[in-house]
Amino acid sequence: MSTALESLKVAAERIILDPKYHDILTLIKGARNGAVYGTKVRFPHAFVMIMLFRSGSFREKIRQIIRATRIHARNLAKFAFIYKGTCLLLKRFGPGQGKEGPYDSFFAGLLGGYLVFGQRSPRTGKISSVSQQIVIYVFARVVLALAKLAVQPGNAASLPVVSRPGTSEAIRHHAWPVFASLSWAMVMHLFKWHPAELQPSLRSSMTYIYANSDEWDGLRNFIWHNK
């Protein structure tokens, strides 16, 4: 039995180390890494947020945690598979004739984003909150990266006025305080007057900090509990 398993292991390693299978196997490895990373990131976040801020029985909360983790892991795995597969197809059959094109990653991300994160649930007709969180996270990082590129002197993506050396340094120095203060000003205004429009987990945490702290009727729910 052990000899058969060892032979199977050797055969499998021979396949995964063969260069001619490398491109195809990157799809599997990418999907695997997406699932593992999604699980590692989402499970502790979902555990804390759901246990602290969601109502329901312990069993219901565990079910919600598992569901959120499964969606996050599945979405990252699917996106990685679609993205890497599309890049591979564009490289082989695109105008680059076997070479990666300058916009292959853009079009592969466009397709993956649409198929994985742009779809509504067939059961509810809504975009899942997990997908919304991932997309908003990515969007925020994209905006910050583009803002940095815009003020880099000599960069092809820079803007001609704000990328001048003196102006660029001034913007870099003051941009983050302005961005941070405006972001918090807007989110607090929205929470005050339009809370239903905020993402549910953000709304729950803000309700806990800013709304529930307005009410108590004794020492017990002043220090240990809310309401």
pTM for this one? 0.83
Burial class (CB in 10 A: 0-12, 13-18, 19+), 150: middle
Give the separation between CA 135 and CA 140, rounded to whole angstroms: 9
- How confident is the model over 168-194, as pLDDT tens digits? 888 888 988 998 999 999 999 999 999
CB 87 within 8 A of CB 104: yes
CB 77 within 8 A of CB 51: no
Reported as a pLDDT band with limits 50, 70 and 90, residue 1 is: low
Residue extents of the structural domains in the chain:
1-121
Reported as a pLDDT band with limits 50, 70 and 90, residue 81 is: very high
Residue 154, pLDDT > 80, answer: no
Predicted confidence at residue 221, as pLDDT, reads 81
Mean pLDDT of 191-215: 89
| Token pair of 208 as six digits | 């806990």
Q: Which amino acid is at 51?
A: M
> Rounded mean pLDDT of the chain?
90
Give the least confident one: 41-50, 90-99, 183-192. 90-99
- How confident is the model over 9-25, as pLDDT tens digits? 888 888 989 998 899 99
Mean pLDDT of 24-45: 95
What backbone torsions phi and psi does residue 163 show, to the nearest 5 degrees? -95, 5
